[in-house]
């Protein structure tokens, strides 16, 4: 358009010059060949032409500038419209992705609702987050608070399609910030964020972290943990990513709380509320499994029953609350003594306890039971400001030497316990 305008102005100048110059040329020839005095008229004509062309040139320049400015405005408008079109296309694509993502949230909710245990829920949640945000260089981490200690601990982590070993098992300075403030966190560049010391981040974790998003897992103002995604590249996350991760975390928090409640109910169903030891019905469920396993591996299995001597006298003398203190004390001694992996400690009855010892022979089980019996007999228990002592009797039986079936193994250990009581208590007898 500018080239066309220039061409029009050029043509105008040419035509104007021809119109004014042609008579002057004729006057010039007339003055030279016919009348010399006509040069005065020629001079006056040229002077008039000059005075006419000067303002005409200024008006033309003004018109040209106005036209050029108008053309520039048109180009700017075109650029703005093109930019708006591009932005609208980006918004449309983002909206399409958002619709697809939010439609997929239904599948995420269904998958999480089928998880019964916390470990399974954590793995599924991280894998689903990886579907939305996952790239080979992004790391997804899920931290959960311990139900008893309240400490933050690593629950699950992923990088791409693989699990990854995280050095900071209890979180780094970014996770501590989220724990302290209980607010979502978006960091576009860790080296430029004034809230955190970049050098400290490098010292804490060998993984390069340049940007991250992190959200707390909250259910009714109760904090369950932290869901986080970090990247080795700066400016890798946007506000929209943080908002969508918060939506996923709300769904995940509910699933984790349900899993924790299920595990708690399950524990209440198999554990004694007073001593926190397993109940007798759980022993009856586990014992056949252990016997089958030992048959395949041709390994021994020992079973020990402990009974508190004269426990009724403690209840009559000090009351049932004091009796509960004694039961808790004995339970703690059992848990502390039989701490090897695989050992199963149960509250068998009112004042009876039992221990299942895989891969332990009858002789070894007898020695262990005798050591614990002696340790308990030397322990002082204060009941109502009075120092007391308690003793236990025990019966030991083993598989396959003493029994081939579950009920037979329990019966043999019970018979050995009965002999220990008949011989005067505070002793261990073997089947």
103 located within any domain: no
Q: Name the DSSP letter for residue 271.
A: B
339 located within any domain: yes
209 located within any domain: yes
pLDDT at site 204: 52
**Residue where a domain stops, chosen among 217, 251, 269:** 269
Q: Distances from the Cα of 281 to the Cαs of 294, 308, 391, in angstroms?
A: 21, 21, 26
97 located within any domain: no
Domain count, the chain: 3
Q: Where are the beta strands (DSSP E) in 146-236?
A: 152-159, 185-187, 211-219, 222-231
Q: Are residues 192 and 317 in the same domain?
A: no
Q: Specify whether the CB–CB gap between 178 and 185 falls below 8 A.
A: yes
- Residue 156: partners with Cβ closer than 8 Å, 6 or more residues away: 119, 122, 123, 125, 126, 141, 142, 163
**Residue where a domain stops, chosen among 269, 304, 337:** 269
105 located within any domain: no
pLDDT at site 98: 66
Could you identify the residue written with the tokens 């986080």? Answer: 228
Q: Are residues 78 and 152 in the same domain?
A: no
pLDDT at site 364: 92
Q: Are residues 251 and 319 in the same domain?
A: no
Q: Are residues 300 and 242 in the same domain?
A: no
Q: Are residues 243 and 319 in the same domain?
A: no
361 sits in which H/E element: none
Q: Are residues 174 and 307 in the same domain?
A: no
102 located within any domain: no
Annotate 152-174 with DSSP letters as a single string.
EEEEEEEETTB----S-TT--HH
User: In what order do the strands lie in the sheet containing 211-219?
Assistant: 152-159, 139-145, 222-231, 211-219, 185-187
Q: What is the pLDDT of residues 22-54, one digit of tens each?
A: 766 676 666 666 666 666 666 676 677 677 677
CATH label of the domain that carries residue 420: 3.30.70.270
Q: Specify whether the CB–CB gap between 236 and 210 falls below 8 A.
A: yes
Taking the C-alpha atoms of residue 72 and residue 63, their distance in angstroms, rounded to an integer, is 14
- Predicted confidence pLDDT, tens digits, the chain (431 residues): 545 555 655 566 666 666 666 766 676 666 666 666 666 666 676 677 677 677 777 777 888 788 888 888 888 888 888 888 888 777 777 666 666 666 677 778 888 888 888 888 888 888 888 887 767 788 888 999 887 788 888 888 888 666 666 767 778 888 889 888 899 999 988 888 888 776 665 555 567 888 899 999 998 888 899 999 988 888 888 888 898 888 888 888 999 999 888 888 877 778 888 888 888 888 888 888 888 887 777 788 899 999 999 888 877 788 888 888 888 989 999 999 998 888 899 998 889 999 999 888 999 999 999 999 999 988 887 777 778 888 999 999 998 888 888 889 999 999 999 999 999 889 999 98
**Residue where a domain stops, chosen among 269, 294, 309:** 269
pLDDT at site 304: 93
Q: Are residues 253 and 126 in the same domain?
A: yes
Q: Are residues 293 and 392 in the same domain?
A: yes
CATH label of the domain that carries residue 167: 3.30.450.40
Q: Are residues 354 and 411 in the same domain?
A: yes
On the CB side of 216, CA atoms within 13 Å amount to 19
Q: Are residues 147 and 165 in the same domain?
A: yes
* 109 CB burial (10 A radius; 0-12, 13-18, 19+): middle
What tokens does 276 get?
Answer: 């926190």
Q: Specify whether the CB–CB gap between 397 and 366 falls below 8 A.
A: no
93 located within any domain: no
Q: Are residues 288 and 422 in the same domain?
A: yes
Q: Are residues 226 and 249 in the same domain?
A: yes
96 located within any domain: no
Q: Specify whether the CB–CB gap between 171 and 138 falls below 8 A.
A: no
Q: Distances from the Cα of 225 to the Cαs of 165, 254, 328, 332, in angstroms?
A: 18, 12, 32, 30
Sign of the dihedral through C-alpha 234, 244, 146, 107: negative
For residue 151, give its domain range. Answer: 114-269
Q: Specify whether the CB–CB gap between 301 and 360 falls below 8 A.
A: yes
């Amino acid at each position: 358009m500018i080239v066309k305008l220039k061409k029009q102005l050029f043509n105008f100048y040419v035509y104007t010059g021809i119109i004014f110059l042609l008579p002057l040329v004729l006057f010039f020839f007339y003055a030279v060949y016919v009348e010399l005095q006509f040069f005065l008229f020629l001079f006056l004509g040229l002077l008039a032409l000059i005075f006419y062309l000067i303002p005409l040139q200024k008006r033309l320049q003004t018109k040209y500038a106005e036209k050029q400015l108008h053309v520039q405005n048109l180009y700017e408008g075109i650029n703005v419209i093109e930019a708006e079109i591009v932005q609208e296309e980006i918004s449309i694509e983002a909206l399409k992705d958002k619709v697809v993502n939010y439609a997929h949230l239904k599948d995420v909710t269904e998958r999480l609702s089928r998880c019964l245990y916390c470990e399974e829920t954590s793995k599924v949640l991280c894998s689903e987050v990886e579907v939305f945000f996952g790239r080979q260089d992004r790391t997804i981490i899920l931290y959960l608070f311990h139900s008893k200690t309240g400490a933050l601990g690593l629950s699950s982590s992923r990088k791409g399609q693989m699990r990854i070993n995280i050095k900071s098992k209890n979180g780094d300075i970014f996770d501590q910030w989220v724990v302290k403030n209980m607010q979502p966190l978006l960091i576009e560049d860790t080296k430029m964020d004034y809230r955190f010391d970049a050098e400290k981040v490098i010292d804490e974790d060998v993984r390069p972290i340049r940007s991250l998003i992190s959200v707390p897992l909250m259910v009714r103002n109760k904090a369950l943990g932290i869901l986080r995604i970090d990247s080795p590249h700066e400016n890798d996350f946007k506000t929209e990513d943080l908002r969508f991760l918060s939506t996923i975390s709300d769904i995940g928090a509910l699933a984790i709380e349900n899993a924790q409640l299920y595990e708690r109910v399950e524990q209440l169903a198999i554990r004694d509320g007073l001593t926190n030891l397993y109940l007798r019905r759980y022993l009856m469920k586990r014992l056949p499994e252990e016997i089958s396993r030992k048959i395949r591996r041709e390994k021994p299995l020992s079973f020990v029953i402990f009974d508190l001597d004269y426990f009724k006298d403690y209840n009559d003398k000090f009351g049932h609350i004091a009796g509960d203190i004694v039961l808790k004390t004995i339970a703690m001694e059992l848990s502390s003594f039989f701490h090897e992996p695989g050992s199963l400690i149960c509250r068998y009855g009112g004042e009876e306890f039992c221990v299942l010892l895989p891969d332990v022979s009858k002789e070894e089980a007898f020695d262990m039971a005798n050591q614990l019996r002696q340790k308990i007999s030397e322990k002082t228990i204060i009941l109502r400001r009075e120092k007391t002592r308690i003793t236990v009797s025990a019966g030991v039986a083993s598989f396959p030497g003493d029994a081939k079936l579950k009920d037979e193994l329990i019966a043999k250990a019970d018979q050995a316990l009965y002999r220990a009581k008949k011989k005067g208590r505070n002793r261990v007898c073997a089947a």
